[in-house]
Amino acid sequence: MAPLPLFLALVLAVSAAHKAQSGARLATATARLAGVSPSAGQLLLVVAAAIEAVAAICLVIPAATVAGALIAALLWSAYALALWRRRGETLDCGCDFAARPRPVGAGQILRALLLAGLAAVLTVLPAPEGVPPAEALLAALAFLALYFGASELLSIPHPAWRKS
C-alpha cells in the first residue's frame, strides 16, 4: 500500500463518517450548498457519503485503486464546482467538523481542487513496489494531520496573511 491512496482513503472515510455522525447539520449545509430543498439535501448527503465510502474502499484495494481515485477525483471536482458557484456567500459548507458559517472563498475551493488533483494524479501513477505497510500508514496519517491543520488555518475568520 502506498501513502497517497491511503491518505485519500482516510480523508474519504473520515468525511463519510462525519456525514453519518452529523447528518442533520450536514443535510442543511448540503441543501444550501447545492441550492436544493432540505429533503433533496438529505438525499444528496446520503449519496455523497456512500460514494465517499465506496471510493475509500476502492483506494485500499490494489486492483481497484484507479477506480477509487477516479471516483474520488470526480466527487471532489463536484464539491469544488458547488463551492465555486457559492463563492462569496456566507454559509456553513460542511467542510469542517464544526459549524463555521463564513464566506466561501478560494481556500475551500482550492482544497477540493487539490484533493481532486491528487486523486487524478493517482489514476496515472504506477503502483509503487515495496513500501512497508507501517511506513505507508504513518506517512498517510502524517498527511492527514497536515490536512486537518490546513483546514483549521482556513477557518481563521480574518487573518492578516489571508486576502480572501
Domain residue ranges of the chain, discontinuous segments joined by +: 3-154
- Give tens-digit pLDDT for 103-161: 888 888 999 999 999 999 999 988 777 778 889 899 999 998 988 888 877 777 766 66
DSSP string, the chain: --HHHHHHHHHHHHHHHHHHHTHHHHHHHHHHHHT--HHHHHHHHHHHHHHHHHHHHHHHSGGGHHHHHHHHHHHHHHHHHHHHHTTT-EE--S-SSS---EE--HHHHHHHHHHHHHHHHHHHSPPPS---HHHHHHHHHHHHHHHHHHHHHHT-SS-TT---
pTM of this structure: 0.86
Q: Taking 90 as the threshold, does the pLDDT of residue 7 lie above it?
A: yes
> Which band of pLDDT confidence, cut at 50, 70 and 90, is reported for residue 6?
very high
| Averaged pLDDT score across all residues of the chain | 89
- Give tens-digit pLDDT for 12-69: 999 999 999 988 888 998 999 899 999 999 999 999 999 999 999 999 999 999 999 9
